């Protein structure tokens, strides 16, 4: 930045050019800092520079009218902030684009100023692109890929260890526990790296979305392989060659997913799909043969339930392999029936579809992304309006003060406001002392400028927010005294403007959702559980109701959208710099429960499509319907508690293991008497397992939900 600024100030001799060169470099190299391989990184700098140029032109044209400037700031602030939901470069460019527009719209200038302003910004874009691409580039996304590949390898070894049952292949319990610990640690490592990567993939781009889904599948497989449950890979499953072959294919698929992420060939998903179907058919034949030869229905039921875990893990491995292939840029065979949510559609149509889905999901009134975007837009709009109405010479400092202090809740905003003002005062004191001592001699200021630039870029992230404010205030004093020497008095204006901007952020924080993500997480979880209840009623209905229509995608889409909103609220809650009344593990488990319920529905739908349905006319069917009703009511009660609604059946019926077992046994008995009842019996066994699993899950959520409710009652100022 110093040589670029020097060229604009000394050679071009235009204050507008020099100002936009200086702040353009800060915006693009400090506030954006794009990651990734060189080519997409250079493209990100170029696109951001181009969009910033458009915003600068619009801001300059609107800057003559305070009200028009404020209105346009409201619109631009909302759009740019909302675009962060797409993650990746869209999120990384947010602050840089806001700074470009703020700089143009908050300082009134005639249309003739557009040319020098754009010249400065474009020059900064060229310099920043070269610096970002050539000077110590760090390829975070490649590191993420390698870490995800390592996690896939660890999970493959865990599945293999859990499934092995022949004595010659079995490992000691200590070795199996070591593999569990390794898999959990590997998945946690890539999750942590993903959360802390500035330009982590999360957008509508097909490979980005697939990578995000891949991390979710790794979480689910690891949890299923480690967590005590009725679905256990280590259970005494039937002695089926097809089961061992499916387990081997699952391990191969997960291992191949690791290889695909590091440049190897894509996994053979058709082989896994065929092995899964073969295992399902073999399991049905085993059960039928066992019943014909006199095995008790109880033993057959135990065998059917024991191998259910393998089918679930195989389904997750199919999703994992599909996501790995797409993330690596490979093509998924159309004959593979991939789980819902995997971005199989490529090209403009696929991106447009995913853009639309994300926008629709986050424009809901309960969306934390919508709340944050509105909060930012309103605060910046007020800052622009007040800065111009007060005719502040450096009105953009007011807006930057608002932007730097604004947080997702009122308490955190108040805290950062105090810190911003304190840091600015300290920076003013240091800068003023320096200017009083050495004066505004250009030679001294040019010598100090590189050091001031370095610490302004370094202090905020390496030391802390207050140190960043100190360093940035010193930089501003040096920079503007090089443009127009006025001495230490400039610092007074800086302190005043930052104080006004920070005060605006406090007012907006108090008026717009002062609880922040704490309250929004509660609302989002309630919406998720309510959507899950509807989805489960439909999914089990397809299994247990004769002639039920093909599942509607609307319930699945609504549940997926609710899950996406809850995920964003959870991310925001975890990233808030404040004392959290609800611990991260509890919050994460509440969100994961909704994802588990959606997984159950995704697994039941293909079963119904393959003809595994009941006749719906027996006492067992009536009992199962009652259990489904109890399960749906359980999730609805959780949603009611989160919504602070008075539930009519607060003490409603609970899911009963005994009733489910009796219903499943009744159908296995019918299968023993009538071979034509085989598919209906398998359907009931699968439905009973999922009802019990989800019922247990819902019961385990009652205490965490109570903690969320109590946390939401804590006043926003605590």
Instruction: Give the model confidence (pLDDT) of 661-712 as tens digits.
Output: 999 999 999 999 988 889 999 999 999 999 999 999 999 999 999 888 887 7
β-pair partners for 439: none
* pLDDT at res. 122: 97
Residues for the chain: how many in total? 718
3-state secondary structure of 87: strand
Eight-class DSSP state of 262? T
What mean pLDDT, rounded, does the chain reach? 87
Region of poorest pLDDT, from 116-120, 230-234, 353-357, 461-465: 230-234
234: confidence class by pLDDT, cuts 50, 70, 90: low
**Burial code of 141-168, b = ≥16 C-beta within 10 A, e = fewer?**
beebbebbbbbbbbbbbbbbbbbbbeee
DSSP code of 649? Answer: T
Phi and psi at residue 336, in whole multiples of 5°? Answer: -80, 125
Picking from 204, 212, 156, 154, the residue whose alpha carbon sits closest to that of residue 183 is 154
Task: Name the residue among 575, 636, 528 with its Cα closest to residue 200.
Answer: 575
Does residue 233 register a pLDDT over 70?
A: no
pLDDT band at 571 (very low <50, low <70, confident <90, very high): confident
**Residue 505 in this model has a pLDDT that exceeds 60:** yes
CA distance 455 to 473: 11
User: How far apart, in whole angstroms, are the C-alpha atoms of residue 21 and residue 43?
Assistant: 20
| Cα atoms in the 13 Å half-sphere on the side-chain side of 352 | 3
Cα–Cα distances (Å) from 651 to 81, 474, 530, in that order, read: 43, 63, 18
Closest-CA residue to 608 (of 678, 694, 549): 549
Tell me the chain's radius of gyration from C-alpha atoms. Answer: 30
Q: What angle do CA 459, 461, 463 make, to 5 degrees?
A: 50
Q: Are 48 and 31 in contact (CB under 8 A)?
A: no
**626 and 653 in contact (C-beta within 8 Å)?**
yes
- How many other C-beta atoms lie within 10 A of the C-beta of residue 222? 22
Question: What does the alpha-carbon distance between residue 377 and residue 330 come to, in Å, rounded to a whole number?
Answer: 40
- DSSP codes of every residue in 5-71: HHIIIIII--HHHHHHHHHHHHIIIIII---SSHHHHHHHHHHHHHHHHHHHHHHHHHTT-HHHHHH
Instruction: Give the range among 541-550, 591-600, 703-712 with minimum mean pLDDT.
Output: 541-550
- Is the CB of residue 225 less than 8 Å from the CB of residue 61? no
Q: In which band, very low, low, confident or very high, does the pLDDT at 168 lie, cut at 50, 70 and 90? A: very low
Give residues with Cβ within 8 angstroms of 220, minimum separation 6: 316, 595, 596, 599
- Helix locations, 164-205, DSSP H: 173-196
pLDDT value, residue 614: 86
Decide: helix, strand or coil at residue 617. Answer: coil
Say how far apart CA 685 and CA 325 lie, in whole Å: 33
pLDDT exceeds cutoff 50 at 167: no
Class of CATH domain 517-713: mainly alpha
Q: Are 639 and 533 in contact (CB under 8 A)?
A: yes
Task: Name the token pair of 269.
Answer: 């998903």
Q: Which of 369, 365, 375 is nearest to 511 (CA)?
A: 375
Residue 391: CB atoms within 10 Å: 9
Residue in the block written with tokens 């789980």: 339
Spatial distance between the Cα atoms of 49 and 52, rounded to a whole number of angstroms: 5
201 bridge partner residues: 87
Q: Looking at the domain 141-344, which fold is it?
A: Methane Monooxygenase Hydroxylase; Chain G, domain 1 (1.20.58)
From 90-104, 108-122, 354-368, 465-479, the region with the lowest mean pLDDT: 354-368
pLDDT at 324: 93
* H/E stretch holding 449: helix 442-462
Give the span between the Cα atoms of 652 and 3, in whole angstroms.
72
**Distance from C-alpha of 145 to C-alpha of 569, rounded to nearest angstrom:** 26
Rounded Cα distance, 35 and 45, in Å? 10
Tokens describing residue 172: 């000691």
Residue 5 phi, psi dihedral angles, 5° rounding: -65, -40
pTM of the model: 0.84
Name the least confident of 102-116, 271-285, 466-480, 699-713.
699-713
Give the least confident one: 197-201, 248-252, 416-420, 500-504.
Answer: 197-201
Q: Which of 20-34, 49-63, 210-224, 264-278 has the lowest mean pLDDT?
A: 210-224
DSSP state, residue 197: -
> According to the per-residue pLDDT averaged within each range, which of 451-460, 479-488, 578-587 is highest?
451-460
Q: How confident is the model at residue 189 (pLDDT cuts 50, 70, 90)?
A: very high
For 706, other C-beta atoms within 10 Å of its C-beta total 13
Span between the terminal Cα atoms of the chain, in Å:
42
pLDDT of residue 166: 44
Angle between helices 66-82 and 94-105 (to 10 degrees): 180
- Helix H segments across 390-438? 395-405, 410-438
Q: Could you report the per-residue pLDDT of 252-281, keeping only the tens digit for each?
A: 999 999 999 998 999 999 999 999 999 989
pLDDT for res 200: 59
Lowest mean pLDDT among 75-79, 236-240, 439-443, 502-506: 236-240
Question: Per the structure block, which two tokens stand in for 132?
Answer: 């970002």
Distance, in Å, from the CA atom of 106 to the CA atom of 94, rounded to the nearest integer, reads: 18
Residues 84, 91 contacting (CB under 8 angstroms): yes
Structure tokens at 322: 């599909």
Three-state SS at 201:
strand
The answer, yes or no, to whether residue 204 has pLDDT greater than 70, is no
Helix (H, G, I), strand (E, B) or coil at 393: coil
Distance in angstroms (rounded) separating the CA atoms of residues 191 and 712: 27
pLDDT at 138: 67
Query: Which segments of the chain belong to CATH 1.20.58?
Result: 141-344, 517-713
Tokens coding 69: 């400037």
Q: Mapping DSSP to helix (H, G, I), strand (E, B) and coil, where does residue 148 land?
A: helix
87 beta partners: 201
Sign of CA dihedral 712, 713, 716, 717: negative
- 359-380, pLDDT tens digit by residue? 888 888 888 889 999 999 999 9
Helices (H), 512-618: 517-544, 553-575, 584-609
* Among 716, 341, 705, CA closest to 526: 705
């Amino acid at each position: 930045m110093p040589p670029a600024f020097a060229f604009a100030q000394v050679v071009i001799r235009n204050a507008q050019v020099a100002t936009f060169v200086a702040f353009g470099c800060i915006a693009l190299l400090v506030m954006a800092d794009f990651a990734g391989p060189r080519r997409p990184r250079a493209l990100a700098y170029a696109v951001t520079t181009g969009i910033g140029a458009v915003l600068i032109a619009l801001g300059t044209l609107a800057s003559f009218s305070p009200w028009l400037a404020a209105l346009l700031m409201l619109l631009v602030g909302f759009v740019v902030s909302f675009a962060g939901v797409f993650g990746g470069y869209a999120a990384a460019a947010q602050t840089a684009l806001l700074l470009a527009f703020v700089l143009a719209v908050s300082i009134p200038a005639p249309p003739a100023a557009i040319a020098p302003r754009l010249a400065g910004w474009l020059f900064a874009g060229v310099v920043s692109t070269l610096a970002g691409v050539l000077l110590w580039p760090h390829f975070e996304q490649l590191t993420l890929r390698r870490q995800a590949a390592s996690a896939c390898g660890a999970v493959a070894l865990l599945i293999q260890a859990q499934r092995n049952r022949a004595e010659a292949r079995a490992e000691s319990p200590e070795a199996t526990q070591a593999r569990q610990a390794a898999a959990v640690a590997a998945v946690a490592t890539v999750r942590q790296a993903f959360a802390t990567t500035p330009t982590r993939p999360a957008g509508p781009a097909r490979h980005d979305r697939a990578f995000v889904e891949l991390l979710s599948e790794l979480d689910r497989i690891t949890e299923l392989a480690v967590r005590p449950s009725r679905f256990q890979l280590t259970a005494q499953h039937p002695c089926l060659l097809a089961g061992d072959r499916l387990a081997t294919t699952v391990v191969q698929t997960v291992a191949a997913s690791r290889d695909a992420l590091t440049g190897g060939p894509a996994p053979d998903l058709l082989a896994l799909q065929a092995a899964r179907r073969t295992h399902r058919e073999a399991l049905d034949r085993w059960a039928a043969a066992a019943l014909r030869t006199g095995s008790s229905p109880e033993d057959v039921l135990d065998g059917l339930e024991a191998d259910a875990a393998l089918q679930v893990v195989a389904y997750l491995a199919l999703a994992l392999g599909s996501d790995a292939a797409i993330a690596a840029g490979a093509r998924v065979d159309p004959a593979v029936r991939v789980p819902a949510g995997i971005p199989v559609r490529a090209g403009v149509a696929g991106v447009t579809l995913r853009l639309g889905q994300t926008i629709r999901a986050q424009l809901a009134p309960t969306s934390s992304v919508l709340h944050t975007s509105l909060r930012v837009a309103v605060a910046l709009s007020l800052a622009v309006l007040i800065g111009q109405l007060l005719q502040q010479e450096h009105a953009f400092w007011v807006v930057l003060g608002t932007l730097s202090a604004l947080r997702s809740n009122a308490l955190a905003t108040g805290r950062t406001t105090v810190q911003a003002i304190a840091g600015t005062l300290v920076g003013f004191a240091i800068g003023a002392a320096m200017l009083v001592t050495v004066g505004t001699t250009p030679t001294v200021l040019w010598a100090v400028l590189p050091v001031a630039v370095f610490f302004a870029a370094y202090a905020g992230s390496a030391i802390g927010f207050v140190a960043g404010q100190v360093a940035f205030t010193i930089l501003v004093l040096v920079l503007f005294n090089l443009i127009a020497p006025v001495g230490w008095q400039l610092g007074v204006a800086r302190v005043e403007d930052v104080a006004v901007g920070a005060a605006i952020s406090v007012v907006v924080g108090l008026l717009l959702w002062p609880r922040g993500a704490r309250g929004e997480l509660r609302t989002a979880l309630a919406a998720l559980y309510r959507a899950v209840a509807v989805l489960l009623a439909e999914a089990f209905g397809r299994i247990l109701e004769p002639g039920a229509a093909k599942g509607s995608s609307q319930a699945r889409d609504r549940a997926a959208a609710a899950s996406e909103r809850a995920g964003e609220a959870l991310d925001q809650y975890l990233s808030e710099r404040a004392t959290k009344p609800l611990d991260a593990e509890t919050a994460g488990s509440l969100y994961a429960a909704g994802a588990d319920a959606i997984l159950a529905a995704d697994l039941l739908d293909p079963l119904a499509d393959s003809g595994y349905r009941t006749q719906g006319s027996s006492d067992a069917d009536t009992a199962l319907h009652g259990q489904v009703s109890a399960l749906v009511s359980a999730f609805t009660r959780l949603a009611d508690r989160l919504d602070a609604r008075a539930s009519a059946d607060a003490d409603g019926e609970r899911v009963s293991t005994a009733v489910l077992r009796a219903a499943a046994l009744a159908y296995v008995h019918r299968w023993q008497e009538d071979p034509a009842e085989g598919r209906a019996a398998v359907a009931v066994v699968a439905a009973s397992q999922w009802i019990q699993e989800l019922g247990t899950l819902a019961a385990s959520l009652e205490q965490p939900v109570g903690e969320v409710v109590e946390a939401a009652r804590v006043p926003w100022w605590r």
